[in-house]
Amino acid sequence: MSRDRHNRRGKSSRTTLSVGRAAVVLGLVAFLVRLIYIIELSKCPFFDHPVIDAETYLSQAAAIAEGDIWGKGPDFINGAPYWQPPGYQYFLSIFVYIFGLRFFPLHLIGVLTGTGTTIMTTLIGGRVFGRRAGILAGIFAAFCGPLIFFDGEFLVVGLYTFVLTIFLFLSIRNRDSWIRWFLAGVIFGFAIVILPTVLTTAPLIIAWALVRNGSNKKRVALIAALVVGAILPVAPVTIRNTFVGKEPVLVSTNAGLNFYIGNHPEDSFDLQRIRPGKDWDRLVGLPEQKGIVSPSGRSSWFFRQALTSIANDPPGWLLLKLKGVAIFLNGHEVMRNQDPYFFRRYSRLLSAVLWEKLISFPMGLIFPLAILGITLAFKKSPQFEDRSAARFLAIFIMWYGATVALFFVTSRYRLPVIPAALCFAAYAAVWLKDNISNRQWNSIGWSAGLLITATIFCNMPAFRVDLYAPGENEFMIARSLYDKGNYSLARMEYLECLKKSPENTIALNDLGNIALFDNNPAEALEWYDKAVKLDPLYEDAYSNRGVALSKLGRYAEAAESLWKAIELAPEWDMPRKNLQNIAPFLKEAEDLRPKTGSGN
């Protein structure tokens, strides 16, 4: 008996060592692949001009690096409870402090976390599914298009996925050490402050710890170590929210809005298409119209509204969530802020590892293989290095996927389960190869049927949800170029945007501004007139229109347009300053006051 135990340990040690070496090699491969991608991406206007969430994260990281440790400044809504989880921003601030806003070294952070994710994927695969599956899973991770893309973005999900793979690796280890579970808890806590979605898996993690370990007394001790470890990273965030933000918020207050967006009574996909701007401000401001102004109160209001709509139509809601599961399993990459497929125009490497034809590569192949691998985990015959750990990972994927579907599905929200899915896909590929080599026709038959069915399902066009608004890519490129002062190229992109989205009022306004910069007020006026006609509440366009009219010598009309801007945004100083600038040119003092019934 002792000899058998010794043999098993020797075999495990050799396997671990072999997989460990492979993990290091594949980590180097992943590093080089991502480095090549970053070099290619440097040609993209977004490389040094992040947008939407990435812009917010970088701005907050810069504020922290400059000394706003407790988040009291305007980047953090003047000390309100964190709107978005702050973990990534604090992590990023370390590198902003070291490198400043030099974008190439900052992008290397994603290269390193992506390298770490590849290493951990290899180790998890080797530990649970065996050496060959672990190495193949690492190869998949090194060249996985969605992982590569998000490793090039200033977004939470790259760091979060890496941290989550570390936690999963610690969780599947056999050693019943309280130190290991304490470290696992600390990593779990860091994952929570990066993205609290993982908190929903806490019951599964605790159940796994109970099943995995020995006596009841020991189980209690290990779970206590896990919980204490998790509290340590979360506690400072909660304390900051309580004493600086004046509300006892655990991590952040954006969960209610996200739940509302994904469970809207009419069309949640329309809400998912909203980008920062007037429509987004109106959506976020809905609770304030009801007199609810506290951040946690607003989040609770959104939750209540969504739950009410669910209670009013349970069958409709269930169908919506089932569709969400189908979208989650579809190979198509659903955009949130930016379209991953658009970035292929800047990178040959990304073009090779992320594409769509009859299938959506790579997830249109990975998910069917993963479904087969998960199925094998619950059958008795296939051999695993650790069957119980395989089943835990399978349940974790399904649990986390259901959580994402409960809110709403996008490519970056499902990314954290991809490393585990790659392990199952790799195991399924190895298992198929072995069964074909051994001519196990019964196993080949049913598995081929399942694989073909899953491949068809995971590539169905009906579940390729496109949240891309017409002209959106061109618009974001134009905004980036505009902010950099490259007005000629910005103008070209705005014109392309308007061909696809002629009602984009921001594009119209910016084209007017570009015409003013070129000393062409007549053309500028045409663009502003189109903007205010489409959006009569667009104060920026009215203010700029007033400037264009003043340059054309039409001072009375300019005053009228400026007063309209003041009426729409009384707190805004710019139109008042512009009005004072034209005061000497007005024939009558009356022109400095708004005319009754005036406006456009």
- Which DSSP symbol is given to 478? H
pLDDT bucket at 398, cuts 50 / 70 / 90: very high
- Percent of the chain past pLDDT 70, that is, above it, reads 93
Residues 109, 241, single domain; the answer is yes
Residues 432, 546, single domain; the answer is no
SS3 263: coil
Residue position matching structure tokens 């249109």: 364
pLDDT bucket at 4, cuts 50 / 70 / 90: very low
Residue position matching structure tokens 């497929």: 341
Convert the pLDDT of each residue in 472-488 to its tens digit: 889 989 998 998 899 99
Domain for residue 275, yes or no? no
Main-chain dihedrals φ then ψ at residue 356, nearest 5 degrees? -135, 125
Residues 458, 517, single domain; the answer is no
Residue position matching structure tokens 């951040």: 295
Please give the Cα distance from 106 to 154 (Å, whole number).
Answer: 9
Please give the Cα distance from 519 to 335 (Å, whole number).
Answer: 38
**Is 213 in contact with 171 (CB distance < 8 Å)?**
no
Q: Measuring CA to CA, which residue among 505, 492, 497, 490 is closest to residue 474? A: 497
Residues 527, 443, single domain; the answer is no
Is the torsion defined by CA of 318, 319, 321, 326 positive or negative? positive
Burial level of 434, CB count in 10 A (0-12/13-18/19+)?
middle
Please give the Cα distance from 132 to 427 (Å, whole number).
Answer: 8
CA dist 419 → 199, 231, 435 (Å): 19, 26, 25
The boundaries of the domain holding residue 10 are 2-249+330-463
Domain for residue 149, yes or no? yes
Opening angle at CA 559, ends 555 and 562, nearest 5: 135
Residues 436, 520, single domain; the answer is no
Opening angle at CA 477, ends 359 and 160, nearest 5: 60
Residues 438, 544, single domain; the answer is no
Domain for residue 285, yes or no? no
Task: Count other C-beta atoms under 10 Å from residue 332's C-beta.
Answer: 22
Q: Which helix (H) or strand (E) holds 506?
A: helix 505-517
What CATH number is associated with residue 579? 1.25.40.10
Domain for residue 561, yes or no? yes
Flag whether pLDDT at 56 surpasses 80: yes
Tell which of 412, 436, 463 closes a domain: 463
pLDDT bucket at 6, cuts 50 / 70 / 90: very low
pLDDT bucket at 210, cuts 50 / 70 / 90: confident
Please give the Cα distance from 276 to 348 (Å, whole number).
Answer: 30
Residue 361 pairs in a beta bridge with 355
Flag whether pLDDT at 563 surpasses 70: yes
The pLDDT value given to residue 213: 65
**Is 254 in contact with 83 (CB distance < 8 Å)?**
yes
Q: Measuring CA to CA, which residue among 256, 210, 280, 224 is closest to residue 84? A: 256
The predicted model scores a pTM of: 0.88
Output the average pLDDT for the chain: 89
The pLDDT value given to residue 79: 86
Please give the Cα distance from 341 to 460 (Å, whole number).
Answer: 18
Residues 508, 444, single domain; the answer is no
Q: Measuring CA to CA, which residue among 27, 43, 586 is closest to residue 350? A: 43
Flag whether pLDDT at 16 surpasses 70: no
Q: Measuring CA to CA, which residue among 554, 477, 538, 461 is closest to residue 503? A: 538
Residues 458, 507, single domain; the answer is no
Listed in sequence order, the residues at least 6 apart from 136 whose beta carbon sits closer than 8 Å to its beta carbon are 125, 426, 429, 430
Domain for residue 172, yes or no? yes
Main-chain dihedrals φ then ψ at residue 369, nearest 5 degrees? -65, -40
Convert the pLDDT of each residue in 103-156 to its tens digit: 999 999 999 999 999 999 999 999 999 999 999 999 999 999 999 999 999 999
Residues 100, 206, single domain; the answer is yes
443 or 236, higher pLDDT: 236
Is the torsion defined by CA of 575, 579, 582, 586 positive or negative? positive
Domain for residue 295, yes or no? no
Kindly report which listed range (562-571, 572-581, 584-593) carries the lowest average pLDDT score: 584-593
The pLDDT value given to residue 372: 97
- Considering its fold, how many domains does the chain have in total? 2
Residues 28, 112, single domain; the answer is yes
Domain for residue 17, yes or no? yes
Residues 334, 227, single domain; the answer is yes
Residues 207, 347, single domain; the answer is yes
Residue position matching structure tokens 């189109």: 530
Q: How distant is the alpha carbon of residue 457 from its chain centre?
A: 25
Please give the Cα distance from 153 to 442 (Å, whole number).
Answer: 45
Q: Which amino acid is at 285?
A: G
